[in-house]
Amino acid sequence: MTQSAPAQPAVPSYASGTSAVPLLGDTIGATLDRTAARVGDHEALVECATGRRWSYPELVAEVDACALGLDALGVAKGDRVGIWAPNCAEWVFVQFGTAKLGAIMVNINPAYRTHELAYVLRQSGISVLVSAPEFKTSDYRAMVDQVRDDCPELREVLFLGDEAWQQLLATGRAADRSLLARREAELSADDPINIQYTSGTTGFPKGATLTHHNLLNNGFFVGEGCGYTEADRVCIPVPYYHCFGMGMGNLGCVSHGSTMIIPAAGFDPSATLRAVQQERCTSLYGVPTMFIAELGLPDFADYDLSSLRTGIMAGSPCPVEVMKRVVDEMGMTEVTICYGMTETSPVSTQTGADDDLERRTATVGRVHPHLEVKIVDAETGLTVPRGETGELCTRGYSVMLGYWNEPDKTAEVIDAARWMHTGDLATMDSDGYLNIVGRIKDLVIRGGENVYPREVEEFLYTHPDVVDAQVIGVPDERYGEELMAWVQLRDGAEPLTAESLRAFCSGRLAHYKIPRYVKIVDGFPMTVTGKVRKVEMRETSVTELGLEQVAAIRNA
């Protein structure tokens, strides 16, 4: 009797990013100085709203003036300096100036109000705050006045454009620059230099604490993935307060000698495309909703976008149909998708410019250089076979030091082996490409069937009248949860009813994946970084559908 060969073990969902390009061991300030010495008078920074421009040597001079001015204020290594402002050149000066001192820059969301502002000022122990006077409807002066007495460690507030800010720069320009060299000599690439508060959907946000090494290398390898050289001009409409803007944008540029283009203080689709046209940008960043807004402009076809070759779509799941239009209609043939989170500086995976369109539209790419990823069973912690769904974990140089002064919260997401547990559900295919199928907390369980909202959303994008769609679970007495779709329609579309949408889905989606409820909206509740606030959507829907009693039912 012949014995059959033993079955081959399943290939685990694990991958490590190899690279012939080594990690950078410098501090951020040293990298800026080295780049400026290499590229000379090449343009470093353009602020479109004011027309101001800086070459790399001019940028270094402004950064050094900011650093020395802060030093004269008594800011030392490890001190926290807050920055509360929309995108502007001064944001860049503070980012690199604090890094040169070894001070820890704390990014404050421009959308915050007094309650959130006071929390961040106190929790991080900010001693010096650099703030815009106002932005949109926010009066930052008034809000700082309201909270200042409750923030005992806050000793200096500098409003951009005011005399005190101008005096800080003047003091720095007159100072001995050799002092800065001595300060920089005391710094390590592993020092914390940035705190970024994650967008909490419940409770207070947590301060992800990042180092030179975290941020600089991540920006550098994102730039490598886009093929950046000093010939590239990168349009950055995403907010600086988030890793996408200050890391993937500013540090991606500075590490390659590329040019940073600020199209406007806040996102404006027309200003963004105008900046691309006028500044001949080669790369454009954005979250999916930004690209949707740009493609939806009535005069979209009038903009000359022929200089574009690459860019990044990231921040939240990227609809396949939108990605295809970005390639076809914006000429971004080398556009890449990145996946990441604030806690990982942020990027863990990226598609390649040479990936075929299917890979670049249907996956978030493969693991980044010098990093590891695995997909685990959330209950057992064991790595699942390729093709199976589990929680995505990542490990390597990019993982934060931890949440500022919150070791218990840190321990909830970084395990003993330094794996960062993302909370995202993903699959890995046989070639190592990853697909994000949802958040563990977003998973809808309808009558015992697991439904991943992302899958349903991707299908709804194929409806000719649907511009954008978000799917959530709402409580249901019979099934536990039912699906609800919030849908944004194209201009001039006929009203869409739950019945007509269900008819569109019938026969093409499993019955339990077809939304029971439909809500037509002009937009979605969003964080500043472009993530949809599904918790808020669910709360609104429960109220509007009269499901409060069902929601109150407790389940085992």
Q: In 10 A of CB 477, how many CB atoms?
A: 10
What is the rounded distance in angstroms from the CA atom of residue 477 to the CA atom of residue 273?
48
Rounded distance between C-alpha atoms, residue 452 and residue 317, angstroms: 13
Report pLDDT for 555.
38
Decide: 199 and 531 in contact? Cβ < 8 Å: yes
Q: Which residue, 284, 268, 291, is CA-closest to 234?
A: 284
Q: Which residues contact 450 (CB under 8 A, 6 or more apart)?
A: 443, 444
- What would the CATH number be for the domain defined by 442-551? 3.30.300.30
Backbone angles phi, psi at 489, to 5 degrees: -100, 155
Q: How far apart are CA 39 and CA 190, in angstroms?
A: 27
Which residue do the tokens 């990982």 mark?
344
> Which stretch of DSSP H or E encloses residue 67?
helix 56-72
Domain range list for the chain: 442-551
Closest CA to 541 of 442, 488, 473, 478: 473
Question: What pLDDT, on a 0 to 100 scale, did the predictor assign at position 203?
Answer: 56
Spatial distance between the Cα atoms of 369 and 224, rounded to a whole number of angstroms = 10
What's the confidence (pLDDT) of residue 202? 42
Percent composition of the chain: helix, strand, coil (DSSP 3-state, to 5): 35, 25, 40
Backbone phi, then psi, for 525, in 5-degree steps? -65, 125
Q: Which single residue is written with the structure tokens 């950046």?
A: 228
Count CB-CB contacts under 10 A for residue 434: 24
CB atoms within 10 A of CB 356: 10
CA angle 143, 144, 145 (to 5 degrees): 90
For residue 247, the 8-state DSSP code is: I
Choose among 96, 99, 112: nearest CA to 60.
Answer: 96
Question: How would you write the pLDDT of the chain (556 residues) with one tens digit per residue?
Answer: 566 677 788 999 999 999 999 999 999 999 999 999 999 999 999 999 999 999 999 999 999 999 999 999 999 999 999 999 999 999 999 999 999 999 999 999 888 888 889 999 999 999 999 999 999 988 999 999 999 999 999 999 999 999 999 999 999 999 999 999 999 999 999 999 999 998 643 457 899 999 999 999 999 999 999 999 999 999 999 999 999 999 999 999 999 999 999 999 999 999 999 999 999 999 999 988 899 899 999 999 999 999 999 999 987 767 778 888 999 999 999 999 999 999 999 999 999 988 988 888 889 999 999 999 999 998 899 999 999 999 999 999 999 999 999 999 999 999 999 999 999 899 999 999 999 887 787 888 787 677 878 888 988 999 999 999 999 999 887 778 899 999 999 998 888 888 999 999 988 887 888 999 999 999 999 876 677 888 899 999 999 999 998 888 643 3
Q: For 404, what's the count of Cα atoms within 13 Å in the CB-facing half-sphere?
A: 29
Q: How many CB atoms lie within 10 A of CB 159?
A: 19
Residues 281 and 297: their CA atoms lie apart, in Å, by 19
Q: Residue 417: CB partners within 8 Å, gap ≥ 6?
A: 395
Model's pTM, two decimal places? 0.86
SS (H, E, C) 108-121: CCCCCCHHHHHHHH
